[in-house]
Amino acid sequence: PDDLMESLEPFDSEEAVDFRTAYLSGYVADKYDIAQEDVAPRIRERVCEEVDDRFRGTITGYDEITMNGSSIDAKRSGVDYVLYPVWLFNLRWNEEKFTFAVNGQTGKVAGDLPPSKTKMAVASLALFCVLWIASWLLFSPGASLDEIIDAMTYVTLFCIMIAVIVYESLKDGLKSVEKRHGSEYYYREGSMDISDESEEFLYKRITTD
């Protein structure tokens, strides 16, 4: 999957050598399955994201920067067919398939870990109980029965919401596969040259606490 390969970045193309069949002895090589024309929009998207980020980095003296729009003219350069070293592991756990990959250059590992729904549910339930009991001890002294019922109704809903958020956070924490933003790993320092720069004051916004 493309997001799995992007999660393994960076790859150091400076170490690339001319291809020889002997390099593949004992290994399996996959041919690309996406044509140049099909992958070009994704390349442009990442280049534009990186350009925007780099320009943001040149703006100083402000507490907040809002970009309303940008116009980027990206021109295609040459395309090389490169084989990168990747170790792939496929496993099945609880009738689900999981794929893990290792960057053969850096040793970086990417893959979504199988979640233990029981452990996450127990952790979320334990948090719910702690919050509920703490709220009961806080609201019950000196309060009438109706006040306690009203308060604990809202507390119960709040505790359920927190428990669900914690459960989802634990589940998301096991995921390391995602599409990358920008292309910082492939940016060459000093390659960006700002030929013209101007600034126009429009308005000042003051916020108070």
pLDDT above 90 covers a percentage of the chain that reads 3
What average pLDDT score do residues 148-166 get? Answer: 81
Q: Mind listing the pLDDT tens digit for each residue in 23-60?
A: 888 888 888 888 888 888 888 888 888 888 888 888 88
Residue ranges per domain, the chain? 2-85+176-186, 117-171
Mean pLDDT value across the chain = 82
For the chain, give the DSSP string: -HHHHHHT----GGG-----GGGGTTS--PPP-S-HHHHHHHHHHHHHHHHHHHHHHT--S-S----------------------EEEEEEEETTEEEEEEEETTT--EE-PPPP-HHHHHHHHHHHHHHHHHHHHHHHSTT--HHHHHHHHHHHHHHHHHHHHHHHHHHHHTT----PPPS-GGGPPTT-------------------
The predicted model scores a pTM of: 0.64
The three state secondary structure string of 39-86 is HHHHHHHHHHHHHHHHHHHCCCCCCCCCCCCCCCCCCCCCCCCCCCCE
Q: Mind listing the pLDDT tens digit for each residue in 134-146?
A: 877 777 777 777 7
